[in-house]
Structure 1
């Protein structure tokens, strides 16, 4: 997801060679993860099922949609359509499993409690489908894709609100990286809105409403960006954690949303802002790769061991539960 969206941003800013290099990296990683996904399903169905009901499972949909969007911009429409079909087939099952798990097994959060930033992946995955469908519609692959994109976009906004009610806002100061998805989900929503604004299916009031909504969503995502950046400065977290990739994705997505909105709405300063934010995302991408390599090196030269990913759908561990287990 992170590498793919930065590849999109580099394409939008004219750095085509570097964009294609990162596209190749993203495609290779996608293939490796897809192979791992299938292998786990075949060899350990129980473990696969347990993982499938947690929000991180929806990265499979979001990553596929981001990769398909980049291939569409490369004018490889057949491959982009295939990836859209694959993402659309996987998406409803995973989404329903995650939402049902919340309703059945996860207690309703109270003030001061909640889930980490991965909770917003229900929105990210849905808006990823909207972005890819709208991109294909703009490429001339069918007007019905514009209608499908609009439906996914609207559902994605509802899912964002649903996730926001379950998010632990303390994560902005204590999160290991995935708390940035709170802003990244709005950024991909703004990108979807900008794509829909460019689709010629809606004119008059409909077009104006989409344009206004694009600005509102982008402004909210930039506000999240400022808050999260300030929290990083106030409470530095320098150690490597695999969830830092979930920081890079919102950095890149915010940049791409600003670039796309600047082009569609013809606002030059947004294009400039998008370029600046893109290089911030590239720097973050490079730092996380260094952290990944350092942690993988292990031994006395390696970084701190990478903690296992928590289950975002697991109920919070209260002192009472701990005493009972003891």
Structure 2
């Protein structure tokens, strides 16, 4: 007997069931736009930016609609780590807009993200517990996203106070990462559905924030007091990239050892760290004058593009086959055939 569906178009039915983790799709597409811009593929970058903006606007409308007319669901979802994808996605788009010279729009997005950040972060952190999936690192990602956008605008606007605020957020994000690491379930590396990659992606966006803070300094602003401060920031930034690459290698080996090919919406949280690692490597290559990082950074970027295409294909397939199970449901093992005994 076919499953019943709610009235309305298939798209509306599918969209109404969209989990908060869908915001990772905006993050993934937005960071690919940043990386493609860094490597000179401007046309592709703008196409990715247009897709990210369209998705962000749809999610923003959905966020607002639930806040106004479905408050119970909004409050419930706001306490989940995935809610922080709204902040991270907003800051990624703001960073790309700054590169286009659209500082006013980027400032508006920074203000919006900063307004949402404390309330959502507190709500999420209050519900942290042991043995959490990779989404627990989104507290770090959202905070470092604010640092990235703040530092980027500080360099453009020559604003010392904004750079110093970004520096505070940079260190706070690292503190949140350490705390999240104590809550992370390491078994997710082998059994995770996709968001376990955020364990490395959080380090990547932290490294990107560090590179933007280094780049924001200038003789006119003189942000950091002495060579020791600058040297410490450079050392931490490079160390974060090294740790991120170590996570990347470990997670990739785990994926090869235990393939998880079926589509899951949390796979967007795999693409984002891949793209962020590439963007961080490219940015650090410029900020600390390590030109040899550009080649591996570009290779990692195209790996992320390939992953984006694969996940997009999976998302399209899942939408066109709504009755088909695409990933293991909570509490079931991969490959389990879950059917009602009355249908056998």
Residue 307 (structure 1) shift = 6.2
Question: TM-score normalized by structure 2?
Answer: 0.85
1:155 aligns with 2:172: yes
Alpha-carbon distance in structure 1 between the residues aligned to 2:243 and 2:151: 22
Q: Secondary structure at the match of 1:139?
A: helix
8 Å Cα contact 2:262-2:326 kept in structure 1: no
Instruction: Provide the residue aligned with 1:60 in structure 2.
Output: 86
Alpha-carbon distance in structure 1 between the residues aligned to 2:250 and 2:113: 32
Q: Which runs of 5+ in 2 are unaligned?
A: 1-26, 218-222, 332-344
Instruction: Provide the residue aligned with 2:228 in structure 1.
Output: 205
Residue 197 (structure 1) shift = 1.3
8 Å Cα contact 2:262-2:327 kept in structure 1: no
Residue 303 (structure 1) shift = 5.5
Instruction: Provide the residue aligned with 1:182 in structure 2.
Output: 199
Residue 58 (structure 1) shift = 0.4
Residue 306 (structure 1) shift = 5.4
**CA deviation string 1:150-180 (max 9, x = no partner):** 0100100000001000000000000000000
Residue 309 (structure 1) shift = 8.2
Instruction: Provide the residue aligned with 1:315 in structure 2.
Output: none
Alpha-carbon distance in structure 1 between the residues aligned to 2:195 and 2:203: 14
Instruction: Provide the residue aligned with 1:72 in structure 2.
Output: 98
8 Å Cα contact 1:294-1:303 kept in structure 2: no
Alpha-carbon distance in structure 2 between the residues aligned to 1:309 and 1:136: 42
Instruction: Provide the residue aligned with 2:50 in structure 1.
Output: 24
Residue 304 (structure 1) shift = 3.0
Residue 99 (structure 1) shift = 1.3
**CA deviation string 1:98-157 (max 9, x = no partner):** 11223xxx4xx3xxxx00000000000000000000000111252211011001001000
1:139 aligns with 2:156: yes
* Aligned pairs for 1:10-21 within 5 A: 10-21=36-47
1:304 aligns with 2:304: no
Instruction: Provide the residue aligned with 1:322 in structure 2.
Output: none
User: Number of residues paired by the alignment?
Assistant: 299
Alpha-carbon distance in structure 2 between the residues aligned to 1:13 and 1:199: 20
Instruction: Provide the residue aligned with 2:126 in structure 1.
Output: 100
Alpha-carbon distance in structure 2 between the residues aligned to 1:305 and 1:230: 23
**CA deviation string 1:254-300 (max 9, x = no partner):** 0000000011111122111100000000000000000000111116x
Give the 3 Å change call, closer, same or farther, for CA 146–308 of structure 1 in structure 2. Answer: farther
Alpha-carbon distance in structure 2 between the residues aligned to 1:276 and 1:270: 10
Alpha-carbon distance in structure 2 between the residues aligned to 1:227 and 1:169: 12
Alpha-carbon distance in structure 1 between the residues aligned to 2:168 and 2:329: 36
Alpha-carbon distance in structure 2 between the residues aligned to 1:124 and 1:286: 23
Alpha-carbon distance in structure 1 between the residues aligned to 2:139 and 2:59: 19
**CA deviation string 1:177-204 (max 9, x = no partner):** 0000000000000000111111211241
Q: Which runs of 5+ in 1 are unaligned?
A: 311-326
More deviation, 267-276/26-35: 267-276
Give the 3 Å change call, closer, same or farther, for CA 309–275 of structure 1 in structure 2. Answer: farther
Instruction: Provide the residue aligned with 1:260 in structure 2.
Output: 283
**CA deviation string 1:33-89 (max 9, x = no partner):** 000001111111111101111110000100000000000011100000000000000
Alpha-carbon distance in structure 2 between the residues aligned to 1:137 and 1:225: 30
8 Å Cα contact 1:197-1:210 kept in structure 2: yes
Alpha-carbon distance in structure 2 between the residues aligned to 1:125 and 1:76: 22
Q: CA RMSD of the aligned region, Å?
A: 1.4
Q: Secondary structure at the match of 2:157?
A: coil
* Aligned pairs for 1:81-120 within 5 A: 81-102=107-128, 106=129, 109=130, 114-120=131-137
Residue 305 (structure 1) shift = 3.8
Give the 3 Å change call, closer, same or farther, for CA 297–173 of structure 1 in structure 2. Answer: same
Question: TM-score normalized by structure 1?
Answer: 0.89
